[in-house]
Structure 1
């Protein structure tokens, strides 16, 4: 790879692993030099939840994602969904995408069993950008991905969010919140075994630094190995996330957050045809779900990530605070695969079972630096209480990308697949892409949250300056262009005493296009979107219940469409597109009592292509968008009698029919999937075993074979089959 940053990655890896030790030494020295003042005990009222901390159940009441301030979800005039650590553990979610399965308006895992980068549809728009601790992590092209065990919560802010986050997809953003040092000591260790030869271990440790009243630490780590759905494929992941919090006074906090994630086998992705998945192949039937179109002697996907950053806050008084959050993240991966080509007849049988294959692959790396500076102040003007937020953030991304292809790879026969009979070392990939991309963004934003009794008004505006440089090292299509955009949001929500809160909001977004336009045509303009949302929330005071209903009307303009050009052996892009999505979403989260917890969701979407370079797509629904989705999860914990300590969970997920291409010529059938869990707390009957639990999870219990989605007749994906895992965990 040109400009391969291996020394930098090694330095980041080393830094993330030793950051705890170095930070401890530095901070301890500072603490010894400072005067130590004994602080008075602070009494915390309510449930003590903060917008970027633990939830303590399934129902979050606070979030920072919607406003960048610690605001009740019930006072935010936009849809916010929070998936807590408890839900992730109860459902044994293996990825962030999987953690959002029971969230309305989200189509998770639309590439089926292949989830290489937590790709999601939100409100009909794919490649939802992912943020980590409120800072940009990845969007459509980057393969950055964080293991959910390292997270405290996963939040979804639906709808345009550029007013606070800059260039974003109009469907919304996913904000992942890292585990951070806890106020009280915490210890957790565990092991996991499962089907598909799965085994793993994990640990999570947090405490005060010995001999210090101002330093606390946390280290979370996990390792997991399992076979994937297709023959010869596997996934291996090892991740660790150390963090350190320094609190020299009750007004100042600094938290250093690091991480390292290594995946020698990161997963597998390929394409299947409509023929053999949606429709049977004459004389053969359906392609087996475990069919491997590549070859174990060639297939490879490796990924390595490292990140380091910090969160700083200082409160001058009860009315004024400053914050600065920053992070550098590096990810690199290297992939080689044999791509499914086209079907042809087997001379021996006459049936279409022979698949042509193209060898392709190459390395890619992303380096992302982002920093966000904020000033928050509160002021009263008459009956109105204002929470003012001013901020300036900066994002710098650099991508090094090389890709090659070779059409001389041998074909494979579905009826009699043979592997390992070809010397792939002689197969040279001809470069089709060799590019360096640098993208920068700086944004200035202002926001005012106004509370007048039960009424909350929210208004904000932002201006972004963006710069993109594309160095085409293979040809002559270098491009450099500047973009600027003003985005804004306004909303109102009224909280009645009985917990009902109707709201209305309007928001906009923009997103620079990081794809080079065809040579000689000039750079693409940023895509822009606007949304009107109206809804109602129900969050009765002092009760762990959150019910929401929302209707939205969302329109995106200047959409870039891509079409594969066989002659050029690459995708050719044009900017003639407009998409109009309307829909409504229902969500219910409740701790009904001490024993029963419920999660329910339903979403309907009407998505229409209103402009496209392909006439046959106009007034049609884009591929891969199910009009209806619904899910229900419940957990019941026994707390008395012989069953004391036993907890039973069950879930059902429905994904409705979707179109298999943008011209709506064929459909992908609907599917209903069932999940379940069973756990036992040994401490319920034996104090000596307090904190020891055994949990068994089963997903897709019926082992249904189904197609998750199709992007075209030549890009279909099987969904995940049944999996069963057993987890033994000890906490103290």
Structure 2
């Protein structure tokens, strides 16, 4: 069989599962019961209760709820609770208030559609995978972290979380190896879970969208006993129903209990567990050909909701489980020890043919047959991570040193079997204009039966030095040892050992008016799984140079970051167009500028805005020199966004809120030869909400004017439409 692009993984197949579906009306019935359960104990209220907007100060920490849209602290760029203006790289933080205002429901990649420097959902919606490109580099498998511990994945062995379980979604732009070891060069996405609260919380919600996909969730937190030393939180959600694509439907859910024990002010221990799953028929989107989506075929364009799989075969599911804990103790001398640990297990299965361009290479009447490839995959993953940190403060030589040292370890084991028909057999073709389902498909033969084990041990140090009445020097260093072993019954067996030293230096000056200019330089490495013509693939490596200004005005609750950057990635894996053999003869450069502002103007107005320019260039490719000077596909050069939210706090319509947003993505290349483009698109979103006496109702509309557009193409046979207009209604209750 001709295997497109590389050894198969999620980059080659997106969204592939289904099974029995609970209908939306059943979900609605369960949710309404939950909403009504607290009515009897609800507090009497005579006026609207609005979340307070705190101007400056407050108790903002790296894990606390974000006040409005403006976060002040983060641990994503430092592994310690650090003010954002003291991190020498650009960091974006999206909190639950922003997620709720914009109507985020099931997907984390939806959260980042307004974030500069991030290309989210590059192929359109994908039910079982959250896709992120940061500063042009794919972070989907090597750039996702959960509470600062990696959610590394390979092939189809990736975990997927629900935004309802998260307090924050944070994006560190640029290399993160000095803190996390091997990671995506463009940056990382750190998912920060909700935690037990000091004050009681009882919340439930129900919602449904215009496709008939409904959801219900609950979030409960309170003290345990009368001593005040223990608190709990239980968060859960169930969702399911039809999706936009023909035949596509899903059922998903999770539950996450937590318990925090704090015997004194200096000690805290939180244990948590998680169980989640998905059962779906995948969407038809993501593998459409360029001709028929961006360009008209002889019959026009393929419908956005078209499904070209096999409804009677397409099937898949995953079940994922996690347990973990966080421990923190501050000694009498001010030194703090922290440790967090997580173990996860994933079982995933998918089966069903997917598209592979036009049969014969071009649309040909009268049936306009599309080629398909059969596929089945099973993946079992065991993932373990632990991070130990010591941090303290010291006065040395007239400067204040905030020092951190740490030791972390990650373990990832993937036992996977992938099957497809033996070449030249693929799968039966299907008509683009009159699809007929039910044809007997050829047998999928075992092509890969392999166990991959990937381990990393790292030791790191950080010193944040405040000196000279406003200067801040940040120094980081890290050493990593990585061991990868692949044991194959069918496929390739190999062993590789790599080590790397990473560093970062940053210099900033904090003016009294809230302005902080900064510069930084950082190196990175990113271990790869797989083999090329020279054996096991070597880690990607390179460096970034970044400069910018961070501004937290003293007269309003806001944050503005402007940055410019230049990233060079070496050991880029390239494919020989004649032999399809992989080698590491490439180099890619990403350079650009980003601007992001978030402001809580007052208790009525909240605003966020962004603008980004990303210029990527292939600077070396010995396997195919014709590509030198070209830009990689998928990544728009220009993106921009604006969201404005207004809440009425007095008068007859007190508690009413209105939100409106606009998102623009510039044109992008559709193929690596840079012969075809995906046009630019500008989309509008809107929201209206009403909160009164602990009840809330929200109506959100994405792609308000139902613009039909192609989100991106990863080659001329791998294009995906952007989502159609989606209307989501939600009813919520607090007591």
TM-score by length of 1: 0.89
Distance change (3 Å), C-alpha of 1:127 and 1:563: farther
Shift of residue 352, structure 1, vs aligned partner: 6.4
Count of aligned pairs: 670
CA-to-partner distance for each residue in 1:474-501, whole Å, 9 max, x for gaps? Answer: 14x3110100000000001111011111
Query: Is 1:600 aligned to residue 583 of structure 2?
Result: no
Deviation at 1:151, TM superposition (A): 0.3
Partner residue of 1:134 out of 125, 140, 148: 148
Cα displacement (A) at 1:445:
0.3
The residue correspondences of 1:610-621 to structure 2 (distance < 5 A) are 610-612=619-621, 613-621=623-631
Q: What does residue 546 of structure 1 align with?
A: 559
Measure, in 2, the Cα distance between the counterparts of 1:118 and 1:213. Answer: 39
1:567-586 map, 5 Å: 572-586=581-595
- Secondary structure of the 2:98 match is helix
Residues 152-231 of structure 1 aligned to structure 2 (within 5 Å): 152-231=167-246
Closer, same or farther: CA 564–298 of 1 in aligned 2, 3 Å: farther
How much does 1:437 deviate? 0.4
**Is structure 2 residue 625 aligned with structure 1 residue 639?**
no
Taking the TM superposition and a 5 Å limit, the aligned residue runs for 1:430-449 are: 430-449=445-464
CA offset at residue 111 of structure 1?
1.5
Distance 1:189 1:557 in 2: 49
Mapped to 1, the partners of 2:365 and 2:336 lie a distance apart of 74
Q: Which residue of 1 aligns with 2:71?
A: 60
The verdict on how the C-alpha distance between 1:423 and 1:344 changes in structure 2, with shifts beyond 3 A counting, is closer
Alignment of 1:727 with 2:716, yes or no, is no
In structure 1, the residue matched to 2:470 is 454
* Alpha-carbon distance between aligned partners in 2 of 1:210 and 1:608, rounded to the nearest angstrom: 60
SS of 2:164 mapped into structure 1: helix
Alignment partner for residue 696 of structure 1, among 686, 699, 705?
Answer: 699
Q: How far apart, CA to CA, are the structure 1 residues paired with 2:73 and 2:147?
A: 15
User: Does structure 1 conserve the Cα–Cα contact (< 8 Å) formed by 2:124 and 2:286?
Assistant: no
Contact 2:144 2:151 in 1 (8 A): yes
* Secondary structure, aligned partner of 2:499: strand
Q: Does 1:419 align with 2:437?
A: yes
| 1:713 is aligned to 2:716 | yes
Displacement of 1:258 in angstroms is 1.4
Q: Which moved more, 1:55-64 or 1:140-149?
A: 140-149
Higher relative contact order, structure no. (Cα contacts within 8 Å, ≥ 6 residues apart):
2
1:564 CA drift (Å): 8.1
Match of 1:472 among 488, 494, 502: 488
Q: Distance in 2 between matches of 1:380 and 1:653?
A: 47
Structure-2 separation of matches of 1:643 and 1:82: 31
Quick check: 1:638–1:647 contact (8 Å CA) kept in 2?
Answer: yes
Cα pair 2:209 2:727 within 8 Å, conserved: yes
- Contact 1:266/1:302 (CA < 8 Å) preserved in 2? no
Indicate if the aligned counterparts of 1:122 and 1:158 stay in contact, CA closer than 8 A. yes
Measured against aligned partners, the alpha-carbon deviations of 1:176-198 in whole angstroms (never above 9, x if no partner) come to 00111001001101110211111
SS of alignment partner, residue 156 of structure 1: strand
* Alpha-carbon offset, residue 71 of structure 1: 0.7
**2:550 is equivalent to residue 537 of structure 1:** yes
Deviations 1:675-709 (A, max 9, x none): 11100012xxxxxxx11010000000111111111
Structure 1, unaligned stretches of length 5 or more? 1-44, 683-689
Residue 291 of structure 2 is aligned to residue 275 of structure 1: yes
In 2, distance between residues paired with 1:295 and 1:270? Answer: 16
The whole-number CA distance in structure 2 between the counterparts of 1:193 and 1:712 is 35
Equivalent residue for 2:48?
none
Worse-superposed segment, 450-459 or 627-636: 450-459
**For residue 107 of structure 2, what is the aligned residue in structure 1?**
95
Q: Once the 2 structures are TM-superposed, how far is the Cα of residue 127 of structure 1 from its aligned partner?
A: 2.8
- 1:290 counterpart SS class: coil
Matches within 5 A, 1:633-712: 633-682=643-692, 690-712=693-715
Structure 1 pair 346/56, CA: closer, same or farther in 2 (3 Å)?
closer
Change (3 A) 1:347 1:454: closer
Distance 2:332 2:632 in 1: 52
Larger deviation, residues 119-128 vs 168-177: 119-128
1:514 aligned to 499, 523, 529, which one? 529
CA contact 2:286–2:721 (8 Å) conserved in 1 = no
Q: Which residue is equivalent to 1:108? A: 120
Cα deviations by residue, 1:98-157 (Å, 9 ceiling, x for unpaired) = 101111100110011225321111001013411111111134543211100000000000
CA distance in 1, matches of 2:338, 2:370: 56
Following TM superposition, by how much is the alpha carbon of 1:230 offset from its aligned partner in structure 2, in angstroms?
A: 1.7
What does residue range 275-424 of structure 1 map to in structure 2 within 5 Å? Answer: 275-282=291-298, 284-317=299-332, 319-344=334-359, 350-351=365-366, 353-406=368-421, 407=425, 409-420=427-438, 422-423=439-440
Assess if the C-alpha contact under 8 Å between 1:237 and 1:266 holds in 2: no
Runs of 4+ in structure 1 displaced over 3 angstroms? 139-142, 266-270, 344-352, 562-565
The DSSP-based 3-state class of the residue aligned with 1:680 is strand
The verdict on how the C-alpha distance between 1:669 and 1:99 changes in structure 2, with shifts beyond 3 A counting, is same
2:81 is aligned with 1:82:
no
The answer to whether the 8 A contact 1:329-1:367 is kept is: yes
Matched residues in 1 for 2:698 and 2:228: separation? Answer: 36
SS at match of 1:310: strand
Task: Give the Cα separation in 2 of the matches to 1:245 and 1:80.
Answer: 28
Distance 1:622 1:349 in 2: 30
Question: Which has the larger displacement, 49-58 or 206-215?
Answer: 206-215
* Distance (whole Å) between structure 2 residues aligned to residue 524 and residue 176 of structure 1: 29
C-alpha distance in 2 between matches for 1:514 and 1:412? 35
SS class of match (1:69): coil
Return the offset for 1:281. 1.0
Give me the whole-angstrom Cα distance separating, in 1, the residues matched to 2:514 and 2:363. 71
Partner secondary structure for residue 101 of structure 1:
helix
Aligned equivalents of 1:66, 1:210: Cα separation in 2: 37
Counterpart secondary structure, 2:113:
coil
> TM-score normalized by structure 2?
0.89
Cα distance in 1 for partners of 2:114, 2:65 equals 19
Query: For 1:635-690, what per-residue CA distance to the aligned partner results, in whole angstroms no more than 9, with x for missing partners?
Result: 000111122110000110000000001110000000001111100012xxxxxxx1
Range with greater deviation from structure 2 (191-200 or 387-396): 191-200
1:345 and 1:351 in contact (8 A); partners too? no
Deviation readout 1:199-229 (Å, 9 max, x if unpaired): 1110000001134421100001011113223
- Structure 1 pair 222–266 and aligned structure 2 pair: CA distance change class (3 A): farther
Stretches of structure 2 that go unaligned for 5 or more consecutive residues are: 1-55
In 1, Cα distance between equivalents of 2:343 and 2:272: 10
Shift of 1:279: 1.1
Indicate the SS of the match to 2:178. helix
* Structure 1 position 345, deviation (Å): 7.7
